[in-house]
Amino acid sequence: MKKIMNQVQDMVRESCEGFAQAHADIVALNAEPLFIYRRDMPVQVALISGGGSGHEPLHAGFVGRGMLAAACPGEVFTSPVPDQMLAATRQVTGAAGALYIVKNYTGDVMNFELAAELAAAEGLTVQSVVIGDDVAVQDSTWTAGRRGVGGTVFLEKLAGAAAEQGASLEGVRGVAERVMAGVRSMGLALTGATVPAAGQPNFTLQDNELELGIGIHGEPGRARVPMLSAADMAAGLLDPVVADLDLKRGEEVLVLTNGMGGTPLLELYLAHREVRRLLDAQGVKVARQLVGNYVTSLEMQGLSVSVLRASADDLKLWDAPVHTAALRWGA
Amino acid sequence: MKKIMNQVQDMVRESCEGFAQAHADIVALNAEPLFIYRRDMPVQVALISGGGSGHEPLHAGFVGRGMLAAACPGEVFTSPVPDQMLAATRQVTGAAGALYIVKNYTGDVMNFELAAELAAAEGLTVQSVVIGDDVAVQDSTWTAGRRGVGGTVFLEKLAGAAAEQGASLEGVRGVAERVMAGVRSMGLALTGATVPAAGQPNFTLQDNELELGIGIHGEPGRARVPMLSAADMAAGLLDPVVADLDLKRGEEVLVLTNGMGGTPLLELYLAHREVRRLLDAQGVKVARQLVGNYVTSLEMQGLSVSVLRASADDLKLWDAPVHTAALRWGA
């Protein structure tokens, strides 16, 4: 195992320290318990998320104006604990209340639930949404039901824009639920990834195969298949997504072509070309798009595609100003 | 070799097509000869760069308001040809003239020189600068003199801001020369990378070693050494940079902690913490910073550090609005 790190047990903390130094104009770091929060938090609904580390820039990279109020990083591929979420909630929640954005993994769901109860006991108003956008598998090693993956970026951006515009907690939650109903994702891996504490790759693929339907922790997918062309990769990811969304000719979508962390942009933009070609051929209109490594799995090579059926309101929320480490425009 | 691609010979073109689709609000693609150019080019000095592909987002990711007017991508790790540069020059050059920004590699230098002569013969005003900021080695496989690496981002940003503000060709060139005089870089690799046309890694490192002083094409560096802690990696990169710049206590710098393409952000931010810690200890003030995969070598894991001795004028040019695929603020 070769990682840029000092001691395994210090990796997440030290990385968060570097992140907070690099983006000190946007975020601040709370060291104990560990969370990242927005420096200039105004009076509005506070979006709070978190999850295991190793998926950067998710979630800390989305803390800032127009997206999250706080993010709680767990150890690598391990849920943060309720103490982190509770402390973050105290830090950023005002009279407008807070919305927890939880990716559907058993540990995350349980710990955010517990934190919500503790926060409520202190008189804080907290609601939660749980996203499960991965069409690859129904249940998996880490999850009952669908896993939360790339669609989380759309959820955090659109709900964050609604909060920034002064929507109520019910209003922000309504946007979040609309996104969850309209987004689907699927991913594939060309390589595994090594969790620092394990020291060994979480799985190994031969030089002529890929794993289709992989999760962001390297959970098994639908099938291990011989290596595919970029065109066939795009079809293998998009077809189940389009079918599950029941997308029709003429509909508008927001697309994320997402790298798994170790995927170079040269390859990712090529994949995006194939995604666009397939959607064009089906008469689906790509109204907005995002290409990059946004919801990752350490150094894994591979990609995922997320598609959101987007209304005019959704596009306005997407276009609204955002100022975070990983997404920035109009602000 | 596992790459997200169709046919090797179509890889660069198809990736550029996906890039131009994803960023159609900023850039347009000229298919033959291949170059990417700024859609809304105003009357000002046109900065034109280019080089082998595989270093994305460099250079196409820096085309747009406040940076480059055009970028010419060659095949992977292969110089673009003079026809590309000449056609790009015709497309974006007005009465204010053009400045070629050339990384110091033998093929790039030769081809940009030839393009400048051809452009001059057509009555276009073109000047060139050649950047060599890598302190690792004096000469290497691909270069006589120092290699052009991460410092190119600072050069393109600061000179681009000057051009956007209406500086003359001599003025923009002056900024470029000031940056080149004040920036130094050094990199290290944890893994090699595979050029698609070769199909094999350009070099192989054992599980307990890294290559210090590596170039962005996998050219050999200063030494192959046993694996280091992040703290020692940062010192191994920074010490030669600081010594070569003769940085003194109290001076202000702009720092780029740059991933080589396959480096996850978890590790890169941790490296940045170490870079900051060392500079802080030396009393050098980090006035601005950038952390991410910006000047890459395909899927190589590793990092480089670039340091620019920055005047107040340099910081103003850094802060000036920029709207490109890879850097965006204030616009």
Each residue's pLDDT, cut to its tens digit, for chain A (331 residues) gives 999 999 999 999 999 999 999 999 999 999 999 999 999 988 999 999 999 999 999 999 999 999 999 999 999 999 999 999 999 999 999 999 999 999 999 999 999 999 999 999 999 999 999 999 999 988 777 778 899 999 999 999 999 999 999 999 999 999 999 999 999 999 999 999 999 999 999 999 999 999 999 999 988 889 999 999 999 999 999 999 999 999 999 999 999 999 999 999 999 999 999 999 999 999 999 999 999 999 999 999 999 999 999 999 999 999 999 999 999 999 6
pLDDT of residue B210 exceeding 80? yes
Which of A190, A231, A270 shows the shortest C-beta gap to B2?
A: A190
- For residues A155 and A148, what is the distance between their CA atoms, to the nearest angstrom? 11
Are B107 and B214 members of one domain? no
Distances (CA, A) of A79 to A85, B14, B34, B164, B214: 11, 39, 47, 47, 37
The pLDDT, as a whole number, for residue A142 is 74
- For residues A210 and A225, what is the distance between their CA atoms, to the nearest angstrom? 6
B272 in catalytic set = no
Chain B residue numbers with beta carbons less than 8 Å from the beta carbon of A61 are 265
- Asked whether B95 and B121 are in contact (CB, 8 A), the reply is no
Are A192 and A154 members of one domain? no
- For residues B178 and B175, what is the distance between their CA atoms, to the nearest angstrom? 5
Chain A residue numbers with beta carbons less than 8 Å from the beta carbon of B329 are 328
As a residue count, chain A comes to: 331
Which of A56, A61, A267 shows the shortest C-beta gap to B4?
A: A267
- Residues B23, B55, B59, B272: which is the catalytic one? B55
- Residues A23, A59, A217, A272: which is the catalytic one? A217
Are B153 and B279 members of one domain? no
Q: Is residue B170 part of a domain?
A: no
Q: CATH no. for residue B51?
A: 3.40.50.10440
Distances (CA, A) of B27 to A203, A283, B37, B291: 40, 24, 5, 24
Chain A residue numbers with beta carbons less than 8 Å from the beta carbon of B233 are 4
Chain B residue numbers with beta carbons less than 8 Å from the beta carbon of A4 are 190, 230, 233, 263, 267-268, 270-271, 303
The pLDDT, as a whole number, for residue A153 is 98
With CB atoms and an 8 Å threshold, state whether B18 touches A269. yes
Are B129 and B19 members of one domain? yes
Given pLDDT bands bounded at 50, 70 and 90, which one contains residue B141? Answer: confident
The dihedrals phi and psi of A55, each to the nearest 5 degrees, come to -115, 20
With CB atoms and an 8 Å threshold, state whether A271 touches B301. no
The one-character DSSP state at B112 is: H
Question: Which of A161, A195, A212 lies at the terminal end of a domain, its last residue?
Answer: A161
With CB atoms and an 8 Å threshold, state whether B2 touches A301. yes
The pLDDT, as a whole number, for residue A221 is 87
* CA-wise closest residue to B304 among B246, B243, B218: B218
Are A290 and A213 members of one domain? yes
pLDDT, average across residues B279-292: 98
Percent of chain B with pLDDT over 90: 94
- Look up the ipTM and state it: 0.97
Which residues, 6+ apart, have CB-to-CB distance to A233 below 8 Å?
Answer: A188, A210, A271, A274, A303, B4
For residue A9, the one-letter residue type is Q
Q: Is residue B166 part of a domain?
A: no
Mutate to test the interface with B, among A229, A270, A278, A299 (most CBs of B within 10 A): A270
**Is the peptide bond between A220 and the residue preceding it cis, with omega within 30 degrees of 0?**
no
Mutate to test the interface with B, among A27, A29, A269 (most CBs of B within 10 A): A269
Are B18 and B156 members of one domain? yes
pLDDT, average across residues B4-11: 98
Looking at the structure of chain B, the number of domains it has is 2
Q: Give A146→chain B minimum CA distance, Å.
A: 25
| Bridge partners (DSSP) listed for residue A223 | A212
Q: Is residue B226 part of a domain?
A: yes
With CB atoms and an 8 Å threshold, state whether B269 touches A19. yes
Round the average pLDDT of chain B to a whole number and report it. Answer: 96
Are B149 and B75 members of one domain? yes
B59 in catalytic set = no
| Bridge partners (DSSP) listed for residue A189 | A211, A302
Chain B residue numbers with beta carbons less than 8 Å from the beta carbon of A188 are none
Are B229 and B119 members of one domain? no
Are B44 and B77 members of one domain? yes
For residue A231, the one-letter residue type is A
Q: Is residue B331 part of a domain?
A: no
Number of Cβ atoms within 10 Å of the Cβ of A258: 30
Beta strands in chain A (DSSP E): 27-30, 35-38, 46-53, 70-76, 98-103, 126-131, 183-189, 209-212, 223-226, 252-259, 285-292, 302-309, 322-323, 328-329
Q: Give A76→chain B minimum CA distance, Å.
A: 10
With CB atoms and an 8 Å threshold, state whether A265 touches B301. no
With CB atoms and an 8 Å threshold, state whether B267 touches A15. yes
Q: Is residue A169 part of a domain?
A: no
The pLDDT, as a whole number, for residue A320 is 98
Given pLDDT bands bounded at 50, 70 and 90, which one contains residue B138? Answer: confident
Are A150 and A32 members of one domain? yes
Q: Is residue B175 part of a domain?
A: no
* CA-wise closest residue to A190 among A264, A109, A105: A264
Q: Is residue A232 part of a domain?
A: yes
SS3 content of chain B, % helix, strand, coil (to 5): 35, 25, 40
Are A101 and A236 members of one domain? no
The domain of A47 spans: 8-137+144-161
Chain A residue numbers with beta carbons less than 8 Å from the beta carbon of B76 are 266
Nearest C-alpha in A relative to B304? A4
* Chain segment B62-101, per-residue pLDDT in tens: 999 999 999 999 999 999 999 999 999 999 999 999 999 9
Strands B98-103, B126-131: parallel, antiparallel or unpaired by DSSP?
Answer: parallel
- For residues B331 and B315, what is the distance between their CA atoms, to the nearest angstrom? 17
The pLDDT, as a whole number, for residue B221 is 87
- For residues A212 and A308, what is the distance between their CA atoms, to the nearest angstrom? 21
Distances (CA, A) of A86 to A76, A101, A118, A132: 20, 14, 7, 23
Q: CATH no. for residue B263?
A: 3.30.1180.20
- Residues B23, B59, B217, B272: which is the catalytic one? B217
Number of Cβ atoms within 10 Å of the Cβ of A60: 32
Which of A5, A190, A264 shows the shortest C-beta gap to B267?
A: A5
For residue A322, the one-letter residue type is V
Which of A2, A261, A289 shows the shortest C-beta gap to B227?
A: A2
The pLDDT, as a whole number, for residue B220 is 84
Are A28 and A131 members of one domain? yes
- For residues A209 and A206, what is the distance between their CA atoms, to the nearest angstrom? 6
Q: Is residue A3 part of a domain?
A: no
Which of B227, B230, B291 shows the shortest C-beta gap to A22?
A: B291
Q: Give A234→chain B minimum CA distance, Å.
A: 10
With CB atoms and an 8 Å threshold, state whether A15 touches B269. yes
